[in-house]
Amino acid sequence: MVPYDQANVHILTHSLHYGLAVFEGMRCYKGDGGSAIFRAKEHIRRLFDSAHILQMALPFSQEEIVKACADVTRVNQFDECYLRPIAFYGDGEMGVVARNNQVRVAIAAWPWGAYLGADGQSQGVRLKTSSFVRFHHNSMMPMAKTSANYVNSALAGYEARNNGYDEALLLDVHGYVAEGSGENFFIARDGVVITPPLMSCLAGITRDSVIRILNDQGVTVKEQPFPRDLVYIADEAFMTGTAAEVTPVRELDDRRIGEGKPGPITRKVIEVFNAALRGRDPRYRNWLYQV
Ligand code: PPE
Q: Find out whether the beta carbon of 134 lies less than 6 Å from any atom of ligand 1.
A: no
Q: Find out whether the beta carbon of 25 lies less than 6 Å from any atom of ligand 1.
A: yes
* Mean pLDDT, rounded, for 282-287: 98
Point out the ligand 1 atom lying closest to the alpha carbon of residue 26: 25
Query: Hey, which residues are catalytic here?
Result: 145
Amino acid 32: pLDDT:
87
Pairing label, strands 167-171, 125-129: parallel
| 204 CA from centroid of ligand 1 (Å) | 7
Q: How far apart are the first and last CA of the chain?
A: 16
Contacts 24+ apart (CB under 8 A), 200-204: 200/134, 200/135, 200/136, 200/137, 200/142, 200/172, 200/173, 200/176, 201/134, 201/142, 202/142, 202/143, 202/145, 203/46, 203/143, 204/240, 204/241
* Mean pLDDT, rounded, for 132-154: 97
Q: Find out whether the beta carbon of 207 lies less than 6 Å from any atom of ligand 1.
A: yes
Mean pLDDT for the chain? 97
Ligand 1 atom 20 nearest Cα: 182
Distance in angstroms (rounded) separating the CA atoms of residues 53 and 139: 13
Nearest to 188 by CA among 135, 233, 138, 124: 233
Ligand 1 atom 5 nearest Cα: 182
Ligand 1 atom 4 nearest Cα: 182
Amino acid 164: pLDDT:
98
Q: Which residues contact 225 (CB under 8 A, 6 or more apart)?
A: 172, 174, 176, 177, 196, 197, 199
* Mean pLDDT, rounded, for 213-230: 98
Residue 244 confidence class, pLDDT cut points 50, 70, 90? very high
Q: Does residue 246 register a pLDDT over 90?
A: yes
Residue 98 confidence class, pLDDT cut points 50, 70, 90? very high
Q: Find out whether the beta carbon of 153 lies less than 6 Å from any atom of ligand 1.
A: yes
What are the b/e assignments for 2-21, b being 16+ CB within 10 Å?
Answer: eeeeeeeeeeebbbbebbbb
- What are the DSSP calls for the chain, one per residue? ---GGG----TT-HHHHH--EEE--EEEEEETTEEEEETHHHHHHHHHHHHHHTTPPPSS-HHHHHHHHHHHHHHTT-SSEEEEEEEEE-SS--STT---SPEEEEEEEE----TT-HHHHHH-EEEEE-SSPPPPTTTS-TTS-BTTHHHHHHHHHHHHHHTT-SEEEEE-TTSSEEEESSSEEEEEETTEEEE--TTSS---HHHHHHHHHHHHTT--EEE----HHHHHT-SEEEEEETTTEEEEEEEETTEEPTTSS--HHHHHHHHHHHHHHTT--GGGGGGEEE-
Q: Find out whether the beta carbon of 146 lies less than 6 Å from any atom of ligand 1.
A: no
Amino acid 253: pLDDT:
98
- Ligand 1 pocket test, pick from 44, 132, 133, 184 with the greatest ligand atom count within 8 Å of Cβ, gives 184
What are the b/e assignments for 43-58, b being 16+ CB within 10 Å?
Answer: bbebbbebbeebebeb
Angle at 127 between CA 186 and CA 219, to 5 degrees: 15
Q: Does residue 33 register a pLDDT over 90?
A: no
Q: Find out whether the beta carbon of 183 lies less than 6 Å from any atom of ligand 1.
A: yes
Point out the ligand 1 atom lying closest to the alpha carbon of residue 153: 3
Nearest to 16 by CA among 94, 112, 71: 94
* Mean pLDDT, rounded, for 213-235: 98
For residues 140 and 173, the answer to whether their CB atoms sit within 8 Å is: no
